[in-house]
Chain A
Amino acid sequence: MANPARYWREIPQRYRLEAARCTSCGEISYPPRLACRKCRSRKFESVVLADEGKILTYTITRVGPSQLADLTPYAVGVVELEGGVRIMAQIADCDFEELAIGQRVRLEFRKIQEDGQAGILCYGHKCVPV
């Protein structure tokens, strides 16, 4: 299921949180885009996202894809990183009862998916409570 080329293409974003800041209006696009969502300018400079932020909302997935069975139930949330960019990420190593909107988290490198026994391993970041 995980195609090597498609996975490899997103590595700068998934491993190093590389994003693009529009040089016209300052809006940060993660992942980088060809046209700014806010002002449609085409010029960007490379930036890296902050690795700390806060939870804006979260849920606990109890019925999920079978490839994530070993992790289920797991928490996922929308996290706003320092600097304003929002991402979707799992929240690992957390006590479900203690999850809260506004909770501070930091990003940690984790394995996100694996393609069965023989396919490629896919990495990225998850949040852990600070």
Chain B
Amino acid sequence: MSVLDRGIRNAFRNMTRTVSIVAILGLVTSLAFVMLVAHRAVGEKTSTALSSVGNTVTIGPPGFSAGEGLGNFLTSAELAPIAHLPGVAGINESLNGAANASNLPPDRSKFAGSTHISGTPGSDAKGKKTVNSSPRSPSSVGAPGSSDSPVKQGTTSLKYPGTMAFATQGLACQPEPCTPPISYYTIYFSGSTEPTSAVNIGASALSIVSGHAISGMSSADDVMISQEMAKENGLKVGSTFTAYGTTLTVAAIFTSDTQQGNDTVITSLPLLQHLMGDTDGPVFNAVVTASSLTDLAKVTSEIEQALGAKASVVSFVSDAEQAVSDLNGVQSIALDSLVGAVVAAVVILFLVMVMIVRERKREIGIQKAIGTPNRKIMAQFTVEALTFTLLGLVVGAVIGVIAASPVTSSLVSHSGASSSTGARGMFGAGSPALANLSHISAQVGWPVIVECVAGAVIVAVAASAASAWLISRVRPAEVLRSV
């Protein structure tokens, strides 16, 4: 029989006591387990939310962040100094336009003369969708709504490549259910200084499949269209079509991961400004990239100072930080509870081991008398402590697996995080990661189990330190004399 065997067997010498110790440790361990899972789940959620917004600042016209009526658009000239501010790594200025497609929706005659409003392709001044709009979100379209909007509704020879369902998605009609009437299919134009940025067209991925990407600063009549658009219109690289009364050349064909992206024609910023017929060089919004996340607050402040009331400046990081502040509170509570549970486990096991060592003082004395080294006796008691802890861990893990998800959800729902969606107005909310922050999936994975086992070993060793000290002080002569 080895030290290991004796340690394990000793753990079961008194079954009533063993069950009691394991039950208490199991409860404490389950708390630690649940809190560890909650801490990790909340941490991953906040980390994802913060990292998703990146180190960017978005600049729009006044009212941009509040979702109210938009003020005058900014111009390239006004934004030019921003690129030279310290801490600014880059700036992507963009403008969006809309043009009626050359093909008409099915049964258009049925809706003829209904509600087409020229010049408001995405939303009206209050941000409400109008019946001839496309389903894309206003924030990504960046549709202007003010009366002095430089954006003009145009026409194009292109046919709409999407479906009626997509074109009317999100639009309401009475009485429901019904297909909302639309007068025209709308094809959107995105002009930007970074034409290959997928964000400009409401997508997360954009890749060129033929031709060469256009330059964002070029004034040439070159554009990029989607593979879907090219197929629908029988176009290829080098083909031409018309929009806003101008003949445009297909310089590249791309694919994107959204229908919205595939419905959009990408141009350079100067070209779209020219197509809009505005010589002021309007820019709907600009996304400024800071050199690093730590520079973001400073860069935001400098931009606000530089542009004053002419612009609305939105930093999604501050949005995210505000939105996840409640989650940080939950994470903090989880961490405190975890530490508390671990400390409680150490204290409980410490007292148990002190009690056991004192009870077995005579046995320890006998073992020492017959030549058992101190370290072997200590190891035997450590194995006993480890047996209690691991059994407690098994009980705790079973309870923890069952309770982790509901407890985490309960903590989050009571923290107020569920009311913090991170949305700041219809144009300011932009990061999907900030929505549904309260929807946290607390899953028990291998890392949690490994951490718990490691923690259990540490708890057992820490608690055994006291028993080891007591063991080292047992003098066999004294113990045997008292028999």
Q: Do A and B bind each other?
A: no
